[in-house]
Amino acid sequence: MANLSWRSSVKIAAREMHSSRGKFFFVILSVAIGVAALTGVRGFSASFRATLLNRARSIMAADLSARMFQQPTPAQQKGLDEIAASGVEMTPVTELLSMASSAKTLDPLLISLKAVDPAMYPFYGEVELAPAGRLKDVLGPDTVVVADDLLIRLHLKLGDELKIGTRVFRIASVVVNEPDRLSGSFAAGPRILISREGLDASGLLAPGSHAGQRYLFKVQQPARGVAISDKAVAQLKERLEKLLPEAQIIDYRETNPALAQGLDRATSLLSLMSLVALVLGAIGVAMAMRAHLQQRLDTIAIMKSLGARSGQIMKIYLLQTLLLGLLGGIVGVAFGVGVQRALPYFLAKLIHVQTDLRVEPAAIFTGLAVGVLTTLLFTLPPLLDIRGVRPILILRRSVEENDDPFVTAIWRKATKNFAQVGAAVLIVGGLAAIATTLSDSVTVGKVFSLGLVGVLAILLAASAVVLWGLRYFLSKTRLHLPSTVRHGLANLYRPGNPSAALLAALGMGVMQIMTVYLVQQAVVSELHLSSAPNLPNVFLVDITSDEIAGVRALLKAQPSVTSTAEMLPVVSSRIVAIDGVEADALKLKNFPKRMLRSISLTWSETLPPGTKTVEGKWWPEKERGAFVAVGQRQAGRLGVKVGSKITFAAQDTQIVATVVALTKADGQHAYSRAEFVLPPAPLAGLPVVWYGGVHADPARVGELQRALYQAYPTVTVINVAEALETIRSVVIQITYVIQFLAAFSIFAGIIILASSIAGTRYRRIREVVVLKTLGATRARIATVFSIEFAVLGLVAGTVGVAFANVVARTLLKRLSVSYHFRWEWTVLALLGTVMLTVATGWMASHRILGQKPLEVLREE
């Protein structure tokens, strides 16, 4: 069978594209936007991951790290000493929250303290100081190095004194960066590096203190100039895992598992957001291709009359689509480099690693492949319509579909719809496959693709309904409206205007950005708690048993305190077994096994305030038996019920406690955080640290902090408002990135709008010419078009904002955050969308106004 050669097909496709290059410029841009976002995200992620790997040892500051949740037992300490004696270098790093103050300010400041041995730490990488210097030269028993923001907040400078715990230290230098910042604990306050002797002298560490302990290890170098082998690292890791079974041991190649997992999840989420922009771009391509094919009906009909089969003609336009997808992809990859460079800027406060940005071939390939594939998928429906073009068009313009004989008509309809249904299935399937690849999860892929298609369908339906309503309104009020308004509204229904699809695409972008904003604002507002009079707004951490009575008395005497302090004793322990099953062998639901190593036990004679029993029965007062009441949610995760036996280990003591009750707390008391409550007797003699919460007059929290700090400098006082401020800034930082990517969807919608307006250019020119001939001024014509663009923007904005509120409300309900409709944001979003659409509309059609009537009329 004869076939149109690829060469001929490419020739026809390329020449048509060249003659329509103005129109196809927007199409290429549509694809480029989404590809840029995707390539940028994945390129940055790959670069960041490569940086983590390249600097893995520096990021850990060691070959291995062992995170301990308890102090080592004597036996374990002996084992560690033996390891040290074998040539392995070892140094402890302790991180804790505490308070610091200076003579220049009254208020103490919450700080993130990190105690190191400057002679050993770090094993890899450098602590960057200002002025430049070596840590071991400046950090001694009486000195500290501090972060710049501490100096600012406490109005200090180098050389000034700083009180931490019970000791006063001199500020020797400013710490700009530590190599293992990412591997450490979350810094809730300005960073201070202190020596181990300094920490011991400060009195901050007491048995049971809430301090994070890491041991860093450096394997002995085989010989000078010879690299440490991974085998040696693995051997040491094995040895440590046997010695410290409850510790979290990782080597430098794993970097930070939480960080790696976080990076994977973030990459997946941001990739999917980029995919939304890509899909919108592909829809734009499909709309442009449909319009293009409409204009090519004559050519298609001619070719069919000359003997071309539908498949041969489809080959030409498939090639065009492929070329457009490729060109868009290439342009997008180039833009993607810019996106890759922009992302670190948004994440600067979260990532303390200078990322070596470079071109990542895998990211480029993914961006290109996904761009081309998505474009091809979404262009299938208009391409399939080529099959329905009838050659009789050449002789008779108005060809009715139902002038066929009955059987032919049915067959034509069935094959057309069957093919289109098949195309739809292919599109959804293809989208699911792409989403699965990007997110590395079949479930996410399925949910995303169905969800996206569903949302687009709903937006399309909503847009169509609104347009229909507007048309109905127009039909009823036609003669009462000013003619410019009437004309502008009527233009929405101009033949060739794919208004509903356009509105859906634009609405999608508005919806995305508005949803992110609404959720962010609600979450951040919720963090801005103005607590009820009885809710604690000041928390006290690490109160020792010696201090508890004094602290209670002090709080009682403070005029700023408006409620009775609730104090909670905490014993650090770990779960060794449940119902005889060892911890390692337990099958847990939504409960990481490593958390079994960090369990807080508390005691109470009676049912604590704000707590109720949901199953079982509380023990009588003075009970001495080994019983435990477990929080209902925790019990579900651990798979325990009334009657189960949990074996706890605290220091060298093991407690086998029987579950006698499951409880539920109201979340408003200090005991609300207690998941495991025992009678006092089983925990007697174990190291205990007290936590407390108290409500102080918000305006006088500083007064309370000063009084506590003066009397008990080792007690950490957390002003909830300040802590929430830190969390809020992190949340805002994260949402900046999400909104940055959501903006790409808006760009895609804008490009589609511009493309659609450019596509109806000739019709508009003819309109302008006729109007001018009839006496219309340029100002009047401009008003008519502006009304058309503004109404488009208003409708898209309304649909987008309405659904944004619906989605935000649903999401916030799941997060247990309250939702409030905000008129001011709605109005702003609508105004913004209108301005954007009017600006875009005019950018795409500004030369129309200058068209001379006779030039156009002569061409007729």
Residues that bind other proteins (CB under 8 A): 1-5, 8, 11-12, 15-16, 19, 298-299, 302-312, 387, 390-392, 394-396, 400, 402-405, 408
Nearer to other proteins, 12 or 665 (CB): 12
Q: Residue 666: which of 631, 635, 703 has the closest Cα?
A: 631
The answer to whether the CB of 75 falls within 8 A of the CB of 256 is: no
The answer to whether the CB of 669 falls within 8 A of the CB of 610 is: yes
Work out how close the CB of 311 gets to other proteins at its nearest, in angstroms, rounded to a whole number: 7
Q: Residue 484: which of 840, 777, 844 has the closest Cα?
A: 777
The answer to whether the CB of 119 falls within 8 A of the CB of 136 is: yes
Nearer to other proteins, 398 or 475 (CB): 398
Nearer to other proteins, 322 or 399 (CB): 399
Nearer to other proteins, 3 or 229 (CB): 3
Nearer to other proteins, 352 or 387 (CB): 387
Residue 247, by phi and psi: left (phi above 0), alpha (psi -120 to 50) or beta? beta
Nearer to other proteins, 404 or 697 (CB): 404
Nearer to other proteins, 7 or 242 (CB): 7
Work out how close the CB of 58 gets to other proteins at its nearest, in angstroms, rounded to a whole number: 60
CA dihedral 821, 825, 828, 829 (to 10 degrees): -80
Work out how close the CB of 15 gets to other proteins at its nearest, in angstroms, rounded to a whole number: 4
Spell out the long-range contacts of 576-585 with Cβ–Cβ below 8 A and sequence spacing 24 or more.
Answer: 576/647, 576/648, 576/649, 576/654, 577/646, 577/647, 578/638, 578/639, 578/640, 578/644, 578/645, 578/646, 578/647, 579/640, 579/644, 579/645, 580/645
What are the backbone dihedrals phi and psi of residue 489, each rounded to the nearest 5 degrees, phi first?
-65, -40
616's enclosing H/E stretch is: strand 611-616
Work out how close the CB of 322 gets to other proteins at its nearest, in angstroms, rounded to a whole number: 18
Nearer to other proteins, 354 or 408 (CB): 408
Work out how close the CB of 29 gets to other proteins at its nearest, in angstroms, rounded to a whole number: 23
Distances (CA, A) of 187 to 95, 110, 202, 346, 469: 9, 10, 20, 19, 55
The span from the CA of 532 to the CA of 318, in Å, is 65
Query: Which amino acid appears at position 318 of this protein?
Result: L
Work out how close the CB of 318 gets to other proteins at its nearest, in angstroms, rounded to a whole number: 17
For 486, the token pair is 């009437």
Q: Residue 222: which of 57, 357, 77, 87 has the closest Cα?
A: 87
Nearer to other proteins, 408 or 606 (CB): 408
State the burial class of residue 531 (Cβ atoms within 10 Å of its Cβ: 0-12, 13-18, 19+). Answer: middle
Nearer to other proteins, 6 or 365 (CB): 6
Work out how close the CB of 7 gets to other proteins at its nearest, in angstroms, rounded to a whole number: 9
| DSSP-assigned letters across all residues of 727-769 | HHHHHHHHHHHHHHHHHHHHHHHHHHHHHHHHHTHHHHHHHHH
Nearer to other proteins, 294 or 299 (CB): 299
The span from the CA of 805 to the CA of 810, in Å, is 9
| DSSP-assigned letters across all residues of 92-113 | EEEEEEEEEE-TT-SS-EEEEE
Kind of pairing between the strands at 109-116 and 89-101: antiparallel
For 121, the token pair is 């730490």
Work out how close the CB of 859 gets to other proteins at its nearest, in angstroms, rounded to a whole number: 12
If DSSP states are collapsed to H, E and C, what string results for 807-855? Answer: HHHHHHHHCCCCCCCCHHHHHHHHHHHHHHHHHHHHHHHHHHHHCCHHH
Q: Residue 740: which of 262, 36, 48, 27 has the closest Cα?
A: 36
The span from the CA of 726 to the CA of 481, in Å, is 54
Work out how close the CB of 418 gets to other proteins at its nearest, in angstroms, rounded to a whole number: 15
State the burial class of residue 722 (Cβ atoms within 10 Å of its Cβ: 0-12, 13-18, 19+). Answer: middle
Nearer to other proteins, 3 or 221 (CB): 3
Work out how close the CB of 491 gets to other proteins at its nearest, in angstroms, rounded to a whole number: 25
For 150, the token pair is 């501490």
Longest CA pairwise span in the chain (Å): 106
Nearer to other proteins, 398 or 530 (CB): 398
Question: HSE (CB half, 13 Å, CA atoms) of 795?
Answer: 28
Nearer to other proteins, 7 or 587 (CB): 7
Work out how close the CB of 796 gets to other proteins at its nearest, in angstroms, rounded to a whole number: 34
Work out how close the CB of 22 gets to other proteins at its nearest, in angstroms, rounded to a whole number: 15
Work out how close the CB of 392 gets to other proteins at its nearest, in angstroms, rounded to a whole number: 4
574's enclosing H/E stretch is: strand 566-578
Nearer to other proteins, 20 or 71 (CB): 20
Work out how close the CB of 391 gets to other proteins at its nearest, in angstroms, rounded to a whole number: 4
Work out how close the CB of 302 gets to other proteins at its nearest, in angstroms, rounded to a whole number: 5
Q: Residue 537: which of 768, 780, 704, 652 has the closest Cα?
A: 704
Work out how close the CB of 400 gets to other proteins at its nearest, in angstroms, rounded to a whole number: 5
Work out how close the CB of 18 gets to other proteins at its nearest, in angstroms, rounded to a whole number: 8
Nearer to other proteins, 4 or 458 (CB): 4
Q: What angle do CA 225, 229, 235 make, to 5 degrees?
A: 140
The span from the CA of 788 to the CA of 782, in Å, is 10
Nearer to other proteins, 240 or 319 (CB): 319
| DSSP-assigned letters across all residues of 18-67 | HHTHHHHHHHHHHHHHHHHHHHHHHHHHHHHHHHHHHTHHHHHTSSEEEE
249's enclosing H/E stretch is: strand 248-251
Signed CA dihedral, 411, 416, 421, 422: sign only: positive
Work out how close the CB of 776 gets to other proteins at its nearest, in angstroms, rounded to a whole number: 32
Nearer to other proteins, 310 or 598 (CB): 310
The span from the CA of 601 to the CA of 680, in Å, is 10
